[in-house]
Amino acid sequence: MSIFDTFTPRAGSGNSKWNIPEGAIPMHVADMDFDSPPEVCRAVADRAMSGIMGYQGFTDEYYEAVINWFNTRHGVSGITKDMFIVSPGIVTALTMSVQALTEPDDGVIVQSPVYFPFYSAVDGNGRKTVHNDLIKTENGYRIDFDDLEKKAADASMLLLCSPHNPVGRVWTEEELNRLFKICKKNSLYIVSDEIHCDFILEGKHHSMLEVAKGYDRLVVCTAPSKTFNIAGLSNSNIIVPDKETRDKLQKVYRRDSIGGHNPLSMAATIAAYKYCAGWVDELNHYLKGNRDYAVERLSEHGIDAIRIEGTYLLWVDLSRYSDQPAALLKEHGLIVNEGSTFGDNGKGFVRFNLGCPREGLKKALDRLFEILDGID
């Protein structure tokens, strides 16, 4: 029995993932059905009970907790307090980066299939999406470096997802070095979304803060939100090493009056990064078990699922059943993300959330097979 086998019912709480018709099974929104670590819950409650909940700034304890986490957990050195941009979230940071660091009609490279807000950050701000589609191989997805070389010449920025949602890759140091070399040669801004960096089932996360050390056109987006299941508290840490790039980005945040300091998320972040490393290790162990369980059961049914190396989001090929499998499953009470929303090359796939107790995962897979067997 693991602590992650415990389930706190969420229906009726307003939790987005559970805002669904009665009886339906939610495997879509990237929230986990696990309680946040007790240390985090206690820190938030203590801060609330202190009665001090006015406008907030960051404390030295906050900066130290974040810097120390990235140093001890991911081997990132050299982050200093002045490099932080406070943001309510990473999606906001993607949009702000596009606005601040590129011009209208500039090309911004995305590696499809990819987390759908990457597209709105580009198109929604009047820039051109430049597709550097990932290549599906027998061993998972790979970057098409030849295509990237060609496209980089006409682009201003690359939005990197590392680890990658939805294909679950933990990019190797070699891959990232190669990608960085191409970006540097073409003076591209690199905006690296590393929100999933703590979910490592295989391999090691290599932050662009290390891979591209010293590069001036770099924005690295981090957050405790996915790791500790506190996305509703709205907090992220955007690290921008170069002052000129940071000033440009900061200016757009100020122009649009976007801040991110929040006394409750600050308390949660400090407690999480200071006291919950062991919890994250146990979580990864549990998620790895969920991945293996799901991939094996799917394979027994002749269904191909990517054996993800990171994140808790499984990328499942249901193309032989439908071009829009999620719509089909939804009719029968199983809610997953439609692959095509992640890009044209996601058509026929679904994204299936593994962040739940094994019992819940079993029920969801049982429902999936029941539905699919009814079609076969």
- The H or E element spanning position 312 is none
Site for ligand PLP in 144-163 (CB under 6 A): 161
Find the DSSP H helices in the chain. 38-50, 60-74, 90-101, 117-123, 145-152, 173-185, 208-211, 243-255, 263-275, 277-300, 325-331, 358-375
Contact between 179 and 215 under an 8 Å Cβ cutoff? The reply is no
Cβ closer to ligand PLP: 237 or 371? Answer: 237
- Sheet harboring 337-338: ordered strands across? 304-305, 313-317, 349-353, 337-338
Contact between 249 and 240 under an 8 Å Cβ cutoff? The reply is yes
Binding of ligand PLP at residue 236 (CB under 6 A)? yes
Cβ closer to ligand PLP: 110 or 212? Answer: 110
Binding of ligand PLP at residue 338 (CB under 6 A)? no
Binder of ligand PLP out of 28, 44, 76, 89 (CB under 6 A): 89
Binding of ligand PLP at residue 223 (CB under 6 A)? yes
Cβ closer to ligand PLP: 16 or 250? Answer: 16
Binding of ligand PLP at residue 115 (CB under 6 A)? yes
The dihedral built from the CA positions of residue 249, 250, 251 and 256, taken in this order, carries a sign that is positive
Non-local (6+) Cβ contacts of 117 within 8 A are 91, 94
Binding of ligand PLP at residue 220 (CB under 6 A)? no
Q: What is the DSSP letter of 14?
A: T
Q: How far apart are CA 45 and CA 48, in angstroms?
A: 5
Binding segment for ligand PLP (CB under 6 A), chosen from 5-13, 85-93, 199-207, 347-355, is: 85-93
Least separation in angstroms between residue 376's CB and ligand PLP is 32
In the shown chain, the binding pattern of residues 184 to 213 toward ligand PLP, with x for contact by CB under 6 A and - for none, equals: ---------x-x------------------
Binding segment for ligand PLP (CB under 6 A), chosen from 83-91, 176-184, 254-262, 319-327, is: 83-91
Q: Quick one: tokens of 180?
A: 């960085």
Binding of ligand PLP at residue 30 (CB under 6 A)? yes
Cβ closer to ligand PLP: 90 or 268? Answer: 90
Q: How far apart are CA 288 and CA 336, in angstroms?
A: 20
Binding of ligand PLP at residue 328 (CB under 6 A)? no
Residues that bind ligand PLP (CB under 6 A): 30, 89-91, 115, 161, 165, 193, 195, 223, 225, 231, 236
